[in-house]
């Protein structure tokens, strides 16, 4: 291995005490390949196995905590104890050769397609549709639904513990339910759960507390709790970077193991305020990185780009598309085979890359996400 990449392979210990063998995480990526009833499929297990073993940490695709929060076809569930056996298989598959397995837990809120829901009715903080064509108007959640959802995240965490996962990542990003409560666009409530910035933080913070309490009660060993956040929204009104800096200050008080900053490009500045050109990830790290580890992500394709991000002080880097195209990215860096790392997706390589049909079809048909070649 080239010595300039040694930093990638340094171990890291989370605040909870869980140690990982290197600084690379697999970013959570939807694969559309579970059974319709929410069970993990054999095709998924093969996909996860192919990408495990080299990386230090693997975060699953998002799993819905309740049936009214399912957001994708072929999404797996963590909303009932009957799913624990399949989740146990998934955790064991991901943990080959010392990789730590984290399950991302989530509720789609107003982004859930009506046809996937038991009553065809998405729910959210308020009855405000997303700003995209054809978006349904969600039903404003009642106090009972809010409390049930907070409890559902806790119960999902208990199932993750019982299934043998090493941690959970609370999905508070990408315009899903937790972000909908934080956003002034989707949250127009006038009760304790909305209105002021402080009130809009209350629902995601209550979920963090629910998850942490379950971990304290049920986990017999150190267990990772991370939180994923999107730093801005393009809507008006919408989440600003200043809002997020106040929110992460509160999140940093929650004894979390990491904050995962969801952006398309690691080094990009604010898209709302063109005068803010500093990387949003770096800005958040400077604000709270001494209190909670920051996970960086976003268009870091090569080992050199990853090292540059690590040298900026970010302790952990999540790679997504890179591990789709090159499941053995970390192994090839370690073996000094940089030139053998795939940087394009060949239409002929589905079987070789162990990518399930539903995900493969999306990769072939969504233009611009991956460089597809014949």
Least confident piece of the model among 131-135, 199-203, 287-291: 131-135
Range of the domain at 133: 3-373
C-alpha distances (whole Å) from 46 to each of 104, 184, 332, 354, 372 are 19, 41, 20, 7, 22
- Quote the CA–CA distance of 239 and 144 in Å, as a whole number: 26
Q: Which residues fall within 8 angstroms of residue 57, CB to CB, at 6 or more apart?
A: 20, 24, 25, 26, 99, 100, 102, 166, 316
Q: Tell me if 260 sits within 8 A of 297, measured CB to CB.
A: yes
CATH number of the domain residue 167 falls in: 3.20.20.70
Tell me the Ramachandran region of residue 12: left when phi exceeds 0, alpha when psi lies from -120 to 50, beta otherwise: beta
Least confident piece of the model among 13-17, 131-135, 149-153: 131-135
Question: Is pLDDT at 321 greater than 80 in this prediction?
Answer: yes
**Sequence-ordered alpha helix ranges (H) in the chain:** 42-50, 84-94, 143-163, 177-182, 197-218, 241-251, 280-288, 303-311, 321-325, 329-334, 350-353, 357-365
Q: Pick the catalytic residue from 47, 64, 106, 176.
A: 176
Residues 227-281 have pLDDT tens digits of 999 999 999 999 999 999 999 999 999 999 999 999 999 999 999 998 899 999 9
Mean pLDDT of all residues in 46-65: 98
The predicted pLDDT at position 368 comes to 84
- What confidence category does residue 1 fall into, taking pLDDT thresholds of 50, 70 and 90? confident
What burial class does residue 319 get, using C-beta atoms within 10 Å of its C-beta: 0-12 exposed, 13-18 middle, 19+ buried? buried
Q: Tell me if 180 sits within 8 A of 188, measured CB to CB.
A: no
Question: Is pLDDT at 367 greater than 90 in this prediction?
Answer: no
5 a catalytic residue: no
Q: Tell me if 68 sits within 8 A of 118, measured CB to CB.
A: yes
Mean pLDDT of all residues in 38-46: 98
- Quote the CA–CA distance of 315 and 15 in Å, as a whole number: 13
Number of domains in the chain: 1
Mean pLDDT of all residues in 283-297: 98
């Amino acid at each position: 291995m080239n010595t300039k990449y040694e930093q990638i392979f340094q171990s890291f210990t989370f605040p909870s005490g869980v140690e990982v063998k290197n600084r690379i995480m697999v970013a959570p990526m939807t694969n559309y390949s579970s059974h319709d009833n929410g069970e993990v499929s054999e095709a998924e297990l093969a996909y996860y196995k192919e990408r495990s073993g080299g990386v230090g940490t693997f975060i699953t695709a998002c799993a819905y905590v309740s049936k009214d929060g399912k957001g994708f076809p072929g999404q797996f569930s963590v909303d009932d104890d009957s799913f624990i056996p399949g989740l146990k298989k998934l955790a064991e598959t991901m943990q080959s050769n010392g990789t730590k397995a984290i399950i991302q837990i989530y509720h789609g809120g107003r982004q859930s397609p009506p046809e996937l829901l038991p009553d065809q009715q998405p729910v959210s903080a308020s009855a405000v549709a997303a700003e995209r064509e054809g978006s349904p108007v969600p039903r404003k959640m009642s106090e009972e639904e809010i409390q049930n959802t907070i409890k559902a995240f806790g119960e999902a965490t208990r199932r993750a513990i019982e299934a043998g996962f090493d941690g959970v990542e609370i999905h508070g990003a990408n315009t899903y339910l937790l972000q909908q409560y934080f956003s002034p666009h989707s949250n127009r409530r006038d009760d304790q759960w909305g209105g002021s910035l402080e009130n809009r933080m209350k629902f995601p913070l209550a979920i963090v507390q629910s998850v942490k309490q379950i971990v304290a009660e049920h986990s017999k060993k150190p267990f990772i709790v991370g939180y994923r956040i999107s730093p801005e929204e393009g809507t008006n009104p919408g989440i600003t970077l200043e809002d997020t800096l106040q929110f992460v200050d509160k999140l940093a008080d929650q004894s979390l193991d990491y904050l995962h900053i969801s952006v398309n490009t690691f080094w990009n500045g604010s898209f709302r305020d063109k005068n803010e050109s500093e990387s949003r990830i770096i800005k958040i790290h400077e604000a709270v990185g001494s209190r909670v580890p920051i996970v960086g992500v976003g268009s870091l394709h090569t080992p050199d780009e990853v090292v540059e991000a690590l040298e900026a002080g970010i302790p952990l880097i999540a790679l997504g598309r890179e591990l789709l195209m090159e499941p053995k990215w970390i192994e090839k860096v370690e073996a000094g085979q940089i030139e053998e790392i795939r940087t394009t997706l060949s239409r002929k390589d589905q079987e070789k890359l162990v990518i399930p049909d539903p995900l493969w079809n999306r990769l072939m048909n969504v233009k611009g996400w991956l460089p597809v070649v014949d």
